[in-house]
Amino acid sequence: MKKYIHILGTVLIFISFTACDPLIYLAKDGKEIMKTHKIIAILPFHVDYDLKNGANIDLKTIHEQEKIDGYYVQKQAQGFLLFKMNTFSVEIQEINKTNSILQKENISYDSLPSLDKTFLAKILGVDAILYGDVHTNKVMSEGAAVAIDLLTNFWAPTNRIEVNATIHNGADAKLLWQYNQVQKGGIASTSQGMTRNLMQDIAYHFPYRNLK
């Protein structure tokens, strides 16, 4: 019986999360440039929900939830990166400071994707910018997920999250590093849990590791 339970648990874990190895790009001179960096800022991520049958819900409501979860992903990224700070050659600007400066400069969440990374690095006082986007078919916040699923009449049998994260050089906005990963989860999975897994994986592959 114990053996059966152990096997069943292993199967459930496998069903809950499946993912291939991430696709990672590193510029030819990326490591040499990153060795000169002292501090990097993490921006709120751009979140995009691919919700089926969304005619019953206001698009503004969905967008507001995307914004909330964009800041949630930013917080998760900071948390996992700080946990491994002793292996990195760069400091992480505290996200409250980052967001405060952006607000003071009247830079909105919606404007971030179109703004020049050199401009952002300058006003934030950092050497590089970590930014990214998340595409998913399930809302991350569990309470909001239930409410939106009811309004859209859509209960996805599987979760699917795609994360694309980039690091741009502050001096010239050059793309130094890019991470892309798609994760699929089963019935027992949550978007929050999958997002945390992906942010943990980004921290594991963070290119500033062991550059000291």
pLDDT digits (tens, 9 = 90+) for 54-69: 545 677 888 888 899 8
In a domain, 166, yes or no: yes
Residues 6+ apart with CB under 8 A from 203: 77, 80, 81, 83, 84
Q: Per-residue confidence at 154, pLDDT binned at 50, 70, 90?
A: very low
Amino acid letter, residue 144: A
In a domain, 212, yes or no: no
Crossing angle of helices 59-83 and 95-104, rounded to 10°? 140
According to the per-residue pLDDT averaged within each range, which of 31-45, 134-148, 154-168, 196-210 is highest?
31-45
Q: What is the CATH number of the domain that holds 136?
A: 3.40.50.10610
Instruction: Give pLDDT, residue 89.
Output: 93
Residue 134 three-state SS: strand
What does the DSSP 8-state code read for residue 59? H
Tally the domains of the chain. 1
Question: Is there a contact between 145 and 191 (Cβ–Cβ < 8 Å)?
Answer: yes
In a domain, 143, yes or no: yes
In a domain, 211, yes or no: no
Task: Please provide the average confidence, as pLDDT, over all residues in the chain.
Answer: 81
Amino acid letter, residue 151: L
Residue 101, domain extent: 2-205
With a cut of 50, say whether residue 151 has pLDDT above it: no
In a domain, 44, yes or no: yes
How many Cα atoms within 13 Å fall on the side-chain side of residue 30?
Answer: 17
Distance separating alpha carbons of residues 148 and 202, to the nearest angstrom: 29
Other C-beta atoms closer than 10 Å to the C-beta of 105 total: 11
In a domain, 86, yes or no: yes
Mean pLDDT of all residues in 147-175? 73
Distance separating alpha carbons of residues 106 and 20, to the nearest angstrom: 39
Strands 17-19 and 159-169: unpaired
pTM of the model as a whole: 0.82
